[in-house]
Amino acid sequence: MATKHVSEVFVPKTIELDDTEKSKLQTDVQKIKKKKKGGSTTRGVVYLGHIPLGFYEPDMKKFFGQFGRVTRLRLSRSKKTGRSKGYAFVEFLHEDVAKIVASTLNNYLMFMRLLKCEFMPKDKVHPETFKGCHKKFAPVKSASVAADRHNKTKTEAQVKRSQARQTKKSRAVLNKLSEMGIEYSLGGVEVCVWIDRVKLSEMGIEYSLGGVEKTQSPVPQMIKTPGGKLHVLKEDSGDAEVTFKTPPGAIKSSRLSMTPKVKVVQRRSKRLQK
């Protein structure tokens, strides 16, 4: 096993430099450190672009720390989702080290992506470039994002769309209940029933623009429901005083008339269109 030096940091082989490039870079960095030793140093900033997914702050500090001392690092993240935006800024203690890193690692292949490195002069560095770089990033919770979206003040158009969706769902529920012979109402929500004029004429029902007028009410022997077919038990007026249990797979004829408020919508028959 190789001896671990204090100045070296072991990183995954997929993002480690070649031995020749690494030795050359370390030699240049050592020359700069000896030259700057004992005097004031000017820090240098490097812009990183095309950062691959999964290459985050801890890995960046280890990777760039082998070239020189990294004083500050900031990876740009989305405030909404917390995901990386694909670019970052790295500040080195020595400006010359930053220039060498930018020239050496530009277009460096990392995780099947070409890493873009560019040295930024001092006059082009924004004062708030490294704002919040020392704070640990806290991932945004999906529950808080959903709560903020739900509690956000909606516009008039958004309110109308929301009400239309809710009304459509309520009508669908009422339609299913009415087909099963269950009477139910939801605060004035009307049930939308599609009318086929040919079928109405075959059943002896006259259709008008004002609605439907029932002239004959033949009791069908069987009806179709979402749960399957049901046999209809005909009831006479004399059966009002006699109560009996409805067998399974059947429904009383009196239940067929128990329907909620109905809104009639005309639909042209396919046979008429031909």
For residue 142 the two structure tokens come to 């999906």
Is residue 249 located within the same domain as residue 129? no
Query: Is position 259 within any domain?
Result: yes
Domain count, the chain: 2
What digits encode the pLDDT tens for the residues 60-89?
999 998 888 999 999 999 887 788 999 999
Is residue 174 located within the same domain as residue 140? no
Q: What is the mean pLDDT of the chain?
A: 74
What digits encode the pLDDT tens for the residues 94-103?
898 899 999 9
22-26, 201-205, 208-212: segment of lowest average pLDDT: 208-212
In this predicted structure, the answer to whether residue 215 has a pLDDT above a threshold of 80 is no
In this predicted structure, the answer to whether residue 122 has a pLDDT above a threshold of 70 is yes
With bands split at pLDDT 50, 70 and 90, how would you rate the model's confidence at 236? low
- Structural domain that includes position 264: 160-237+245-273
Is residue 104 located within the same domain as residue 228? no
Could you tell me the CATH number of the domain that includes residue 78? 3.30.70.330
Global pTM exceeds 0.95? no
